[in-house]
Amino acid sequence: MVLALEYLPGGTLADRIGHGLAVTEVVRLGRGLLAGLGAIHKAGLVHRDIKPANVFLTADDEPKIADLGIAHDSVGRSMTRTGARMGTPEYMSPEQIRGEKIDACTDIYACGILFYEVLTGEVPFQGNSEYGVQKKHMEQAVDRARLAGKAPPGLVAMVEKALAKLPEHR
């Protein structure tokens, strides 16, 4: 048996957040990230842990989504225990937190968190405990003022739509 891995010398998106990314770079990386996520969803999977640390970059700064270790088969075959809350609390969707049925909308929500963080330098919902963070995901609106001036209105609207509390509104 041979295991081959792609060499990704660009580090992770998490490494880049503190260095300030230009909006044009955010949009370019976002397009690549969403294309990769579309391929994952087309294969019938939900990633369930989209976050900057799971987005690696090639030498040409093309994003590659990694760590499908807790991916969920969206066509009905369970890959992990049904109803289990799995993922990183800061990036989990409200339905994921509640242990409800998830689909591609769960990853869209996580992308909204990721874009918010890339644009502002921090995740929108923070707390002193996992419960505190999860409660904010389910009840608190995103702080639009933090995004204002960091991105054009269309990008702000996209992030806000991705962060809708109800999956059918994403």
Query: Among all residues, which ones are annotated catalytic?
Result: 49
Among 131, 119, 122, 113, CA closest to 170: 113
For 21, residues 6+ apart whose C-beta sits below 8 A from its C-beta are 29, 118
Q: Which of 94, 80, 87 is nearest to 48 (CA)?
A: 87
CA 115/CA 111 separation, integer angstroms:
6
Q: Are 96 and 72 in contact (CB under 8 A)?
A: no
Half-sphere exposure of 136 (CA within 13 A, CB side): 16
